[in-house]
Structure 1
Amino acid sequence: MADKTNKSKQSMHEETRQVELVIGKILRVGVITSAIVILIGIAMYFMNGGGGYDNGFPKRFASIFSGIAAGKSYAVIMLGVFLLILTPVLRVVVSIYAFYKENDKLYVIITTIVLIILVFAMMLGYRS
């Protein structure tokens, strides 16, 4: 009976370790990807001699994606910033899954509330 409990604990520990490794990879890949996209945008800025916009920079998703299609450097830089913002949000989503697998209901609830707050704040920022 004790052997079965030890194997269960080892399995749970190994799964927790795997989730922590995934979270670390998500953070690393997200930051590196966003940095590369921003650097590409900066290089485009110097090659094109400007950002591609007369006034400011794109603020809406549609204008960012249409600007990328048009080869506007500010749009590429904004995509990199957007990817950087999404990186910790994705980490929160993976953490909810990890806490769920550990049967830690309190942390699932707390982390879900954090995710709701993040999404709500992003929506408010998008509207303004």
Structure 2
Amino acid sequence: MTEKQGQITGKPQTRDRAAEVELAVSRWLRAGVAISGAVILAGLIYFILRGDSGYPEGAYPTALSDIVTGVAALKPFALMMAGLFLLILTPVLRVAISLFVFLAEKDYLYVLLTSFVLLTLVISFFLP
């Protein structure tokens, strides 16, 4: 099949669109890792400068509400935990972006499967 015939069927355009989406997703993933790393590093530097974690010995925030409260109070360990939480959210963002890509492509089987995966991930954040 010649390139001209492929353009009539739209297959090269589909591949180009998929490549664009993958490039955009990879940029989001890199940005997510960079931002989470910066937040962790800021918390670590603040911990070193302050000399304590901001929590009593052996205590640390594990619940999302505790992390948010600790970040608002500028507690170093909470900042590091927030960075780790952002790092965990990065692949979840990838799943969410995939959902919208499959919706745009009208690939409803993958929309259903991706929705299930995303829902499972979101629910897992709220389980003890």
TM-score (norm 2): 0.85
Alignment partners' CA distance in 2, 1:66 and 1:122: 17
Aligned residue-pair number: 124
Return the offset for 1:109.
1.0
1:56 paired with 2:59, answer: yes
Which runs of no fewer than 5 residues in structure 2 stay unpaired?
A: none
Does residue 91 of the first structure (1) align with residue 94 of the second (2)? Answer: yes
1:29 aligns with 2:31: yes
Cα distance in structure 1, aligned partners of 2:126 and 2:64: 12
Paired with 1:68 and 1:119, the residues of 2 have a C-alpha distance of: 22
Q: 2:44 aligns with which of 42, 64, 76?
A: 42
Provide the residue aligned with 1:6 in structure 2. 8
The list of structure 1 runs, each at least 4 consecutive aligned residues, that deviate by more than 4 angstroms after superposition, is 2-5
Give unpaired runs (5+ residues) of structure 1: none
The root-mean-square deviation of aligned C-alpha atoms, in Å, is 2.0
The Cα shift of 1:95 comes to: 0.6
Contact kept, 8 Å, 1:52 with 1:72, in 2: the verdict is yes
- Structure 2 counterpart of 1:27, which letter? L
Counterpart residue identity of residue 53, structure 2: G
For residues 94 and 50 of structure 1, the distance between their equivalents in structure 2, rounded to whole angstroms, comes to: 39
* Larger deviation, residues 45-54 vs 102-111: 102-111
- Rounded to whole Å, the distance in 2 between the matches of 1:66 and 1:59 is 11
